[in-house]
Structure 1
Amino acid sequence: MSKWVEGNAFSLLENGEAFFPRVFECIAAAEREVLLETFILFEDKVGKALQQALLTAARRGVQIDVTIDGYGSPDLSPAFILALTQAGVRVHVFDPSPRLWGYRTNLFRRMHRKIVVVDGARAFVGGINYAADHLADFGPTAKQDYAVEIEGPLVADIREFVLAQLQLGQEPAGNRLRKFLRRRAASPVAPERDTPSAAGSAHAMFVTRDNRDHQSDIERHYRIAIRGARRRVILANAYFFPGYRLLRQLRKAARRGVDVRLILQGQPDMPIVKIAAGLLYHHLLAAGVKIYEYRDRPLHGKVALTDDEWSTVGSSNLDPLSLSLNLEANVIIKDHAFNQHLGEHLEQLMQNSCQQILASDVAETGMWVRLRSFFVFHLLRHYPAWFGWLPAHVPRLTLAEKLLDADADVDADAGIDYVNEGRTS
């Protein structure tokens, strides 16, 4: 069960320009341990810079565990993996699967978290992957995103969680299945570390979503914060198609006079994203919710704030994948200074890079609108349960080096999906 922890300090990191140098610096300077989880790791200039930071630490004897998602990071070359493993880095692949007719098959229940813990004293949580498209020089499709650097006692909770996931994923299949069926969280077995001392005044909570014991925790905290808002709600989310209960809280907040503003994608990386969110515009605007579409480039952020204290930053979108299928992680922060700082960034985004959507922009009448409204209403009311019917397999971690055929020639251009496909242990 997530709990509030006091004495933390948070620094907001906007986009890869702020995030990557800080993370790489901390990893390269690590003394004992680096734990890293990410959905996407590409073998581009960012991925290679991360690799170099990891190698620098590993060659000094730092214990390093890197977990990547088998769907999100499918094309790392054997040469890239071997350079890490030969230096002592343990690279774990979450649910690696063979391709079927060239297509990735492990579409659902992805490991979507983005976490780094260094020496048990500093952590990073957010939505930024290790890819060059999080840098402005990538061009018009570069992503707008956020993460936080954390110091203080909450880091111990984050570290404990990551270690528990490593243990759960590496246990024999029979043991993992029994624990899964009993809905029991694994306990970490790891060297003792002192709990970091107080670093600031922020109260915070580390909240995750999984398919066992915490299926709706992140969404529930959103709803609680919105329900308690008295002055303002600002929510910036890349993939917005939440469930009925969260939408209802947004509408109710606006109707009681709260300034509710949504920052959504105006230049989406996938057209379906804007189409889906657009189906909700009429209902939200009618209740007084203000909608801003970010137009500079694709929005990838997953942040929100209410009133003057509450904020959240993390990996969870507000769509069916994140709310019902993916494994996600957010930090929830109660701190006036951080709330105001994040609010200033989002205000600048709305003023300089967004177009406000007005009721006249979506004015529609006729039978089609009523039919569409009926369909969307019932879909949103029931989709969390429907998605829950999809197979909730037991997540498995496979060491990347075991996916490489020891007898095969190493092709630096081949991805891990294509080397001895399907072999796991």
Structure 2
Amino acid sequence: MKWTRAVDSCWRAGNRVRVLENGEEYFARVFEAIDAAQREVLMETFIWFEDKVGIELQEHLLRAAQRGVRVHFLVDAYGSPDLSEEFLAPLTAAGATLRLYDRQPTLMGIRLNVFRRMHRKLVAVDETTAFVGGINYSADHLADFGPTAKQDYAVEVEGPVVADIVAFMRHAIATRGTGERWSTAEPVDGEPVGDAHACFVTRDNGRRSRSIEQAYREAFRAARKDIVIANAYFFPGYGFLRDLRAAAKRGVEVHLIFQGEPDTPLALMAARVLYRHLVDAGVRVHEYCERPFHGKVAVIDGEWSTVGSSNLDPLSFSLNLEANVFVRDRDFARELRGRLDRLIENHCRAIDPTSVPRGRFWQPLTRPLLFHVLRRFPRWAGWLPAHTPHTARVPPPESPPQASPTDVQASR
């Protein structure tokens, strides 16, 4: 296939990329990497809960900080609103830097501004190993959590692309105007360790506002054989749907995996609104019904793949701060595709096109309105409640609180 222009400038050769499925695989590898860290651990996440997973992460980070490793952790305050002082104090006392992204006052316990969240899930250790994906630090990413445990994916990467991930995370620290002494030196490019080409792509509310969406769409236009997308929240824009349908109409086999047992019922309702439009073009739709699906992955033509934090909905495409890794490697694509095929075969309900209602007589009149909304939503999203997000440093025990610096990297 022809590689996408949206990410042409950032492809790095010589990487090793490993898919990690669910918390059982992901947490073990992240904790092992933290334990092996000698110089630096950088982390960002949307959710960090004080459950058994969050406590174990805290323990690994604490040991790293106590042996002199520089630890910096950025946590979204909306996704993680209940972190206690008792939980965080040992880390800050050991010298770790913890920041809460966009902590906002609440009204009767409800946060009013729910937009422009820091939704990335990133880890970088010693400029040699990085993790990118959709898995948060909470027990509901483990199977023993029960029927509401999430199905999700991440990747572990080694090689030259790690330098790009580290550079991004250090820049995010430096541009928050903290005044603290933290190394902003350019990371050293790693030696080639594998055969995979990889590209790290972020989405912000500035110049890169459409970067991840554009990478998907250009891959659709270049696809020749098959497209498999597994995504928790699917309600993309008009152009995304147009390119996906066009691929199916020219003979590309398109499979979509959505939540059949959603953690947010509105997500399934929104996706089902589009089913008729999709199956009419030949798209095959599957609903994963074993437990809530939280993944954000895709494989195209057996060689192009992506794993990350970005859903395919208005929040991820228009408002949230996101990060994905795009990979060109047949072995990695084969592994990820095999895992998705097993989901389809063993845990999904295939949607019969004949069972998708064509709707009532008035729906052909309202469909143009729906797609007008989908076409215009990214622009309209800019009118939603907005401000310049801040990050607040969690002070060490018995230290006076610091003023919240402006997070210019996340500004509109």
The reply to whether TM is greater than 0.5 is yes
| Consecutive unaligned residues in structure 2, runs of 5 or more | 1-6, 406-412
Partner of 2:363: 369
Q: Deviation of residue 388 (structure 1)? A: 2.3
Distance 1:323 1:192 in 2: 29
- Partner amino acid for 2:113? N
Q: Deviations over 1:78-129 (max 9, x none)?
A: 0111011001110011111111111123310000000000001000000000
Please name the residue that 2:82 is paired with.
Answer: 75
Partner of 2:393: 399
- TM-aligned CA deviation for residue 76 of structure 1: 0.6
For residues 339-387 of structure 1, the C-alpha deviation after alignment (integer angstroms, 9 at most, x for no partner) is 1111000000000000011122212342232244233211111111111
Unaligned runs of 5+ in 1: 173-187, 408-419
One-letter code aligned to 1:151: E
Cross-structure match for 1:306: 300
Do 1:6 and 1:204's aligned partners in 2 also have CA atoms closer than 8 Å? yes
How many aligned positions are there? Answer: 396
Give the drift of 1:215.
Answer: 0.3
Q: Does 1:334 align with 2:328?
A: yes
* 1:317-332 pair list within 5 angstroms: 317-332=311-326
CA–CA separation in structure 1 for the residues paired with 2:189 and 2:286: 42
Separation in 1 of the partners of 2:186 and 2:207? 26
For the residue of structure 1 that corresponds to 2:27, the secondary structure is helix
Q: State how 1:177-192 maps to structure 2 within 5 Å.
A: 190-191=184-185
8 Å CA contact 1:95, 1:106 repeated in 2: no
**Superposition pairs for residues 24-423 of structure 1, below 5 Å?**
24-171=31-178, 190-191=184-185, 193-401=187-395
From 3, 6, 16, the counterpart of 1:9: 16
- Is the 8 Å Cα contact of residues 167 and 187 (structure 2) preserved in structure 1? no
CA distance in 1, matches of 2:178, 2:210: 25
Change (3 A) 1:192 1:371: closer
| Aligned partner of residue 51 in structure 1, secondary structure | helix
Counterparts of 2:327 and 2:71, CA distance in 1:
28
Cα RMSD after superposing both structures? 1.8
CA distance in 2, matches of 1:392, 1:18: 37
Q: 1:127 corresponds to which letter in structure 2?
A: G
- Structure-2 separation of matches of 1:107 and 1:391: 9
CA contact (8 A) 1:170 1:398 kept: no
AA at the equivalent of 1:160: A
Q: Is the 8 A contact 1:81 1:401 kept in 2?
A: no
Q: Which amino acid aligns with 2:27?
A: F
Q: Does the aligned pair in 1 maintain the 2:245–2:283 contact within 8 Å?
A: yes
Distance 2:188 2:202 in 1: 23
Distance 1:156 1:65 in 2: 17
Report the 3-state secondary structure (helix = DSSP H, G, I; strand = E; otherwise coil) of the residue aligned with 1:170. coil
- Distance (Å, rounded) in 1 between the aligned partners of 2:97 and 2:360: 59
Matched letter for residue 216 of structure 1? R
CA contact (8 A) 1:3 1:205 kept: yes
CA contact (8 A) 2:167 2:186 kept: no
Q: What SS does structure 1 have at the residue aligned with 2:263?
A: coil
Runs of 4+ in 1 over 6 A off after TM superposition: none
Secondary structure of the structure 1 residue equivalent to 2:266: helix
| SS of equivalent residue, structure 2 residue 15 | strand
Q: Deviations over 1:384-405 (max 9, x none)?
A: 1111223553332210228x88
- Describe the SS at the equivalent of 1:160: helix
Q: What one-letter code is carried by the residue in structure 1 that aligns with 2:356?
A: V
The percent of aligned pairs where both chains have the same amino acid is 54
Structure 2: how far apart are the matches of 1:152 and 1:34?
17
Once the two structures are TM-superposed, the CA of residue 171 in structure 1 deviates from its matched residue by: 4.8
Shift of 1:170: 3.0
Q: Secondary structure at the match of 1:71?
A: coil
1:142-201 residue CA offsets vs partner (Å, 9 max, x unmatched): 0000000000000000000001111112358xxxxxxxxxxxxxxx96245432111101
Amino acid at match of 1:235: I
Cα distance between partner residues in 2 of 1:350 and 1:70: 35
Say if 1:305 and 1:339, in contact at 8 Å, map to a contact too.
yes
Please, which moves more after superposition, 193-202 or 345-354?
193-202
Quote how far apart the aligned CAs of 1:221 are: 0.1
In 2, Cα distance between the equivalents of 1:243 and 1:317?
A: 12
SS in 2 for 1:197: coil
Distance 1:144 1:103, change over 3 A: same
